[in-house]
Every structure is written in structure tokens, then in C-alpha cells.
């Protein structure tokens, strides 16, 4: 939760500073994510509440758009100059939209980039550009109950 909060707050603060230039002005950040609805809250309501409390004058408006709908809803907004201020992307979207010039390059100079492990830096750096700040790293794997498989006559390949 702390890493997600730090990432969310870093991203939102970075975007707010770019968009408005001065914290004294009221700012509304348009945030689009496929995590954050009632079924998969990912702690976003709590993160947003904490961020807004720590950053008076910045209001975060979260729009939940499912991952499958993101491919349909967001491209016209990006192309039309009406992109969300903060947008959840995965690596395929980062590559496609970054290559098309539709995303901002964060660069490799920010302090948060230096805190990433080398493998994660390699994963988010596309042709020397960084279009995404990692929200989470998910390990995926396949687990097999070999005892159950042996009971039905299937042996482990060696």
C-alpha cells in the first residue's frame, strides 16, 4: 500500500505541477484507471483521500474504465487533446501510445526512477523513454499439485 501511495502521489503531484505550474491555484486532476471500481478498488479511494488531504487545492476525479474499454475510450481522448491527466497503462499500451507520441516521456532523471530495480527500469524504459510510473509489479506463475497429479497417473516431467 505504501509503494502504491507513493507512486500515486508522485504521479499526481508531477502532473499537477506540469499542468498548473503553481500549487496556489485550484487543480482538478482527471485520473483514469481500470482499478478503482467497487469490484477492484486497489485502495484508490483511500489513496486519493490521503493525497487530497496532503495537497489542498488539488481535487482528484477518478474515472473507472475497464481494461478492455480503455482500448476504445482513451485513444480518441489522446488524439483529440483531451487526455486524462493521469492514466493507467500497461506495457503494451505504453509502447503503442508512447510510440505514437501520445504519452509524455517522464525521462530517466527523476529520483523515483533511480529507486527502481534494474530489471524494472529495463521494463519501463522503451527506447530510452519512460512513459509509465509503475503502480505495482505482479508475479505470475503456474502452481501444480503434483501429489494430486500422481494420484491420477501423471508424473512430473524432469
pLDDT in tens, 54-70: 999 999 999 989 899 99
Strand duo 86-87 + 58-64: pairing: unpaired
Model confidence at 15, in pLDDT bands (50, 70, 90)? low
Evaluate whether residue 157 is within a structural domain. Answer: no
Strand duo 125-126 + 129-130: pairing: antiparallel
Q: Calculate Rg over the CA atoms of the chain.
A: 19
Evaluate whether residue 95 is within a structural domain. Answer: yes
Q: Average pLDDT for residues 22-51, to the nearest whole number?
A: 80
DSSP assignment letter at 129: E
CA-closest candidate to residue 133, choices 114, 149, 152: 114
> What mean pLDDT is reported for the chain?
83
pLDDT value at 24 more than 60: no
pLDDT value at 5 more than 50: no
Distance CA 48, CA 8 (A): 8
pLDDT at 41: 61
Evaluate whether residue 158 is within a structural domain. Answer: no
Evaluate whether residue 84 is within a structural domain. Answer: yes
Parent domain of 114: 2-151
Evaluate whether residue 156 is within a structural domain. Answer: no
Evaluate whether residue 30 is within a structural domain. Answer: yes
Model confidence at 99, in pLDDT bands (50, 70, 90)? very high
Model confidence at 22, in pLDDT bands (50, 70, 90)? very low
CATH classification at residue 44: 3.40.190.10
pLDDT value at 136 more than 50: yes
pLDDT at 19: 47
Number of domains making up the chain: 1
Evaluate whether residue 14 is within a structural domain. Answer: yes
Amino acid at each position: 500500500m505504501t509503494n502504491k501511495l507513493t507512486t500515486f502521489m508522485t504521479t499526481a503531484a508531477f502532473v499537477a505541477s506540469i499542468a498548473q505550474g503553481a500549487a496556489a491555484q485550484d487543480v482538478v486532476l482527471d485520473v483514469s484507471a481500470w482499478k478503482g471500481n467497487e469490484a477492484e478498488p486497489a485502495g484508490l479511494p483511500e489513496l486519493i483521500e490521503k493525497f487530497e488531504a496532503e495537497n489542498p487545492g488539488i481535487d482528484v476525479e477518478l474515472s473507472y474504465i475497464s481494461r478492455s474499454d480503455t482500448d476504445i475510450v482513451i485513444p480518441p481522448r489522446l488524439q483529440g487533446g483531451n487526455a486524462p491527466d493521469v492514466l493507467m497503462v500497461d506495457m503494451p499500451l505504453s509502447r503503442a501510445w508512447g510510440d505514437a507520441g501520445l504519452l509524455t516521456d517522464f525521462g530517466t532523471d527523476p529520483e523515483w526512477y533511480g529507486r527502481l530495480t534494474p530489471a524494472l527500469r529495463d521494463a519501463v524504459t522503451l527506447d530510452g523513454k519512460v512513459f509509465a510510473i509503475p503502480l505495482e509489479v505482479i508475479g505470475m506463475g503456474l502452481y501444480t499439485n503434483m501429489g494430486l497429479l500422481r494420484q491420477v497417473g501423471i508424473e512430473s516431467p524432469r
